[in-house]
A and B are shown apart, each in its own frame.
Chain A
Amino acid sequence: EPEVTQTPSHQVTQMGQEVILRCVPISNHLYFYWYRQILGQKVEFLVSFYNNEISEKSEIFDDQFSVERPDGSNFTLKIRSTKLEDSAMYFCASRPGTGNQPQHFGDGTRLSIL
């Protein structure tokens, strides 16, 4: 069964550095998402992306964050000038373009900011 893949599985970065998290959504899906989950807490929506542009974003997704679909398969989340509180699991998800189809999640990237 096709799945969403994320790399790396664990990223350790110094505070203040930029980090790029990568996702390969399921190939025929049209909507893409990033979520964050701080350890022990619920999954929080960051941003949704459709037709090569951001369709919605949460208050968490400030100017520090950006997303990009640089080619036909990858979907990236960039965090500029990382802060300690950015440490979390980051999940990518995708869903087809029709109807109420649910999102399918990747296994996440654990981001540790030192």
Chain B
Amino acid sequence: GQQLNQSPQSMFIQEGEDVSMNCTSSSIFNTWLWYKQDPGEGPVLLIALYKAGELTSNGRLTAQFGITRKDSFLNISASIPSDVGIYFCAGQRVGNTGNQFYFGTGTSLTVIP
């Protein structure tokens, strides 16, 4: 199946530090998305990116859709304890049948107060 490689696998940072994670694929996607998952809950959409080169912010989060359409990154500025969780990237190809999403392997973020 489709492989989205996400890095780093885990991060331990001090509160207030900035965070950067990225996702790469061997295939092109039309849409890149970033989700956060808290324990025992479903993924919650953080940012959706629809065009190559697009840079989008949502509060302290910034994500970019890579020019090649094969990668994306997510930055979190001035981290706070509630940023703790697992962050997943997802790529989507749009088709007539509403194509499936492919999820990255996840980045586990721990913020130390």
A-B Cβ contacts below 8 A, count:
67
Q: Say yes or no: B50 contacts A42, CB within 8 Å.
A: no
Residue pair B98, A50 in contact (C-beta under 8 Å): yes
Q: Are A108 and B41 in contact (CB under 8 A)?
A: yes
Against B, the Cβ 8 Å flags (1 = close, 0 = not) of A80-106 are 000000000001000101011011111
Flag if B31 contacts A42 (CB, 8 Å).
no
- Chain B: residues with Cβ within 8 Å of the partner, total of 26
State whether A33 touches B42 (Cβ < 8 A): no
Is the beta-carbon distance between B99 and A48 smaller than 8 angstroms? yes
* B binding-site residues for A, Cβ under 8 Å: 1, 30-31, 33, 35, 40-45, 48, 50, 88, 92, 94, 97-106
List residues of chain B with CB within 8 A of the CB of A95. 98
Residues in B with CB closer than 8 Å to A108 are 40-42
